[in-house]
A and B are shown apart, each in its own frame.
Chain A
Amino acid sequence: MLHQITDQIFNGITLGMLYILVALGLNIILGLMGVINYSHGAFFMLGAYVAYSLAPHVGFFPSILLAAIGIGLLGMAFEALLVRRLYGRLPEYTLLLTFGTALVFEQIVRYVWGDDAVRYPDLPGWLSGSITIGAYAFPVYKDVFLVGMTIAILAVVWFLINRTNMGVIIRAGTRDAEMVQILGINMPLMFTAVFGLGSFLAGLAGALAAPVYAIIPSLASQWVILTFVVVIVGGIGSFWGAVVGGLIIGVLSSLMELVYPPAVELTGFLIMGLILLVRPRGIFGVEGLFE
């Protein structure tokens, strides 16, 4: 029993890491620009598919990096061509627009890669084994590589937001974009860059998830709603909100597997309901943002 619980906790941490990456990307975009990107799930899915297609040709590690960068560039083009036209209108319209484009992205994936799940090629040898500590065996990819990568990326993003000039501009822009613009910062360029960063994180999470989860076209809508839940639980626009929200939902929904398997999908929503009752802004949420 103890063994099962440990297993599920580690599964939950793996899942939580991916939630964190996806939710952080969404959160950065939402916090700075007030754009709620429903296509974020599609970017996650595209990341997985692109990594799957590239892996046999360029090798495992470059495929992850290239997929993430590719999705980041896609996000920048997406912002510059479409999302930009909605600034100054109600934020709801960005949700509507990105819902429409998500349909397009999903059909593109179905056209290119087909309707059925695709199987990721085998991992390189050094990642496919497992490490044994005492009675427990930890798969290297899921429990070591993926978690390590996520923590490293989180550290970089944290540094970028909190310790660089760009971060100062982003954080100031979250409070008052107009004022920052008046100070001589090229905000439209900044918005594009931030959208690119958010999409990069979604693509990266997708590429990292590709070897672990089934890659199917319905991945996009499954993940985007859970990402919304993570953001609501953690608090809109908050770095640590995404981290804590992602971990809580990842671990608790994995543990639900032991308690009552049919309710696994409901766990996140139950937590969201509780958070709404006791702290409607989310754990680290700021009052009055996007009311």
Chain B
Amino acid sequence: MTPKARPWLTLLGIAVAFGLLPLVMPGGTLDLYPFAGARFPLHDGFIDLATTTLIFALFALGFNLLFGHTGELSFGHAMFFSLGAYGTALFTKGFDCYVGPMHVAFGGASNAFGALAVALGIVTLWAWFVARLIVPRSSGIYYSMITMAFAQVIYSITFHWGDLTGGEDGIQGIDRPHLPGLPADWLQDATHVFIFTAVIVFVAVALNYWILHSKFGSVLHAIRENKQRAGFLGYDVNKYRVNAFVLSALFPGIAGWLWVYFQQSINPDAGSIDYSGRAVMMSLLGGIGTFVGPMIGAFVYWDLQNRVSGLTKYWPATIGAVFAFFVIVAPGGIAGIAGDLRRYGFATAVRRVFSREARFRSDLADELPVQKSGT
């Protein structure tokens, strides 16, 4: 069983970590490695890196609701990131295009939460459509392959529908919104963008925590451990799987919304397999079996990326190799290793990480989706 949930302590810890983030990113004041040189006051670049990390932490957290907690590997969650981002960009910037013979135009508006509503509306519709189509018809690796293909549909549409989406170049020069009760140019500053992002991501994280620790979350865990038994207990497994898919799509959608305001531009790459893969890698590196794992993974990913890309332009190879190493040797990720350390002490934990047997034993199953039994 998982340890007793202590929501306030967990959320307080996360809030503190968010606040410290710009300081511990590479080159920040509290950075332990001497690569970039510590300095104060913080350069905007460090703050931007922290903002990026937070947005991707939210993206990975949403993805992990499905992989880590329902036991289904979606390899296409970037489509929701992309849809959220394009929804926001088009809402803000307006559009003017033809759908067949029909002329559609919209002037654009700078209401941040209106954009959020539109973005999440689009994300929900598409997620619901995809889930209703694939959930009753597939599971396992079949499911992963099909989600990958559906993500490619969104990528292809954003790439080729140039009138609406700007094609390969995407949409640039998107204005940041005016937030109610704050000066009009408040969001023009890197620090303020970070604060805005941190607040939104924190609220979304709390929501995610609440979902996972509700009765609904427990049913998802039951489905992850054994679909058949969850069905026997009277739960409509497919209904829960569809709902989990849609819910897990909302968080990448919110991340896409934040990403557009942060970057002020968007292009089709946001929906590419690269971005889907990033969410997967972050979740696994951090630890798919735990709540905070994907956020730790997002930090590790961007930290590593930033350090290695300073040394070589072939940095994705390093990340790919580190990821492959974790898949083989420590599929529980960093949080998994930390959990083992706490439970078994150092010597046993190290042995567990490197022992072939431990990885097959299903007592890891209390935190990981391991072999489905009874099918």
Q: List A residues at the B interface (Cβ < 8 Å).
A: 30, 34, 36, 82, 85-86, 88-93, 95-97, 99-104, 106-108, 110-111, 221, 225, 228-229, 231-232, 236, 262-263, 265-266, 268-269, 272-273, 276-277, 280, 290-291
Q: Give A148 Cβ to nearest chain B Cβ, in Å.
A: 31
Query: Using a Cβ–Cβ cut-off of 8 Å, how many residues does chain B contribute to the interface with A?
Result: 50
Main secondary structure, interface of B, reads helix
By the criterion CB–CB under 8 Å, are A92 and B359 in contact? no
User: What 1/0 mask marks residues of chain B from 127 to 162 whose CB sits below 8 Å from any chain A CB?
Assistant: 000000110011111101110111011001101110
By the criterion CB–CB under 8 Å, are B327 and A100 in contact? yes
By the criterion CB–CB under 8 Å, are A232 and B145 in contact? yes
Bound: A140/B277 CA distance, A? 40
Scoring B141, B284, B359 by chain A CB atoms within 10 A of each residue's CB, the highest score goes to B141
CB closest chain-B residue, reference A86: B328
B345 proximity list for chain A (CB < 8 A) = none
Given contacts A89-B371, A229-B149, A262-B160, contact A277 B142 (CB under 8 A): no
Is residue B232 contacting chain A, with contact meaning CB distance below 8 A?
A: no
Is residue B75 contacting chain A, with contact meaning CB distance below 8 A?
A: yes
Bound: A276/B147 CA distance, A? 12
By the criterion CB–CB under 8 Å, are A104 and B145 in contact? no
By the criterion CB–CB under 8 Å, are A228 and B148 in contact? yes
Q: Give B164 Cβ to nearest chain A Cβ, in Å.
A: 12
Given contacts A99-B277, A221-B273, A266-B157, contact A232 B320 (CB under 8 A): no
Given contacts A232-B146, A276-B146, contact A92 B324 (CB under 8 A): no
Bound: A101/B322 CA distance, A? 10
Bound: A273/B75 CA distance, A? 17
Q: Give A259 Cβ to nearest chain B Cβ, in Å.
A: 14
Within 8 A of A (CB), among B344-361: 356, 359-360
By the criterion CB–CB under 8 Å, are B148 and A104 in contact? no
B320 proximity list for chain A (CB < 8 A) = 99-104, 107
Main secondary structure, interface of A, reads helix
Bound: A97/B359 CA distance, A? 15
Q: Give B14 Cβ to nearest chain A Cβ, in Å.
A: 26
By the criterion CB–CB under 8 Å, are A91 and B140 in contact? yes
Bound: A99/B75 CA distance, A? 10
CB closest chain-B residue, reference A103: B320
**9 A–B contacts from the bound complex (CB under 8 Å):** A89-B360, A89-B370, A96-B327, A107-B317, A221-B274, A225-B149, A262-B161, A277-B133, A290-B140
A231 proximity list for chain B (CB < 8 A) = 145
Given contacts A82-B324, A266-B157, contact A108 B140 (CB under 8 A): no
CB closest chain-A residue, reference B160: A262
Q: Give B258 Cβ to nearest chain A Cβ, in Å.
A: 26
Is residue B321 contacting chain A, with contact meaning CB distance below 8 A?
A: yes
Q: Give B83 Cβ to nearest chain A Cβ, in Å.
A: 16
By the criterion CB–CB under 8 Å, are B140 and A104 in contact? no
Bound: A104/B322 CA distance, A? 10
Bound: A273/B129 CA distance, A? 11
Q: B321 contacts which of A104, A236, A290 (Cβ < 8 Å)?
A: A104
Bound: A34/B140 CA distance, A? 11
By the criterion CB–CB under 8 Å, are B160 and A263 in contact? yes
CB closest chain-B residue, reference A88: B360
By the criterion CB–CB under 8 Å, are B314 and A111 in contact? yes
Q: Give B310 Cβ to nearest chain A Cβ, in Å.
A: 16
By the criterion CB–CB under 8 Å, are A103 and B317 in contact? yes
Q: A290 contacts which of B73, B142, B331 (Cβ < 8 Å)?
A: B142
Known contacts A103-B320, A221-B273, A265-B156, then 17 further A-B pairs from the complex at CB < 8 Å, ordered by chain A residue: A88-B371, A89-B359, A89-B371, A90-B372, A96-B73, A100-B323, A103-B316, A108-B317, A221-B272, A225-B273, A232-B142, A269-B153, A272-B149, A276-B133, A276-B146, A277-B133, A291-B142
Bound: A211/B360 CA distance, A? 46
Given contacts A107-B314, A263-B160, contact A82 B73 (CB under 8 A): no
Bound: A275/B148 CA distance, A? 16
By the criterion CB–CB under 8 Å, are A266 and B156 in contact? yes
Q: Give A280 Cβ to nearest chain B Cβ, in Å.
A: 4
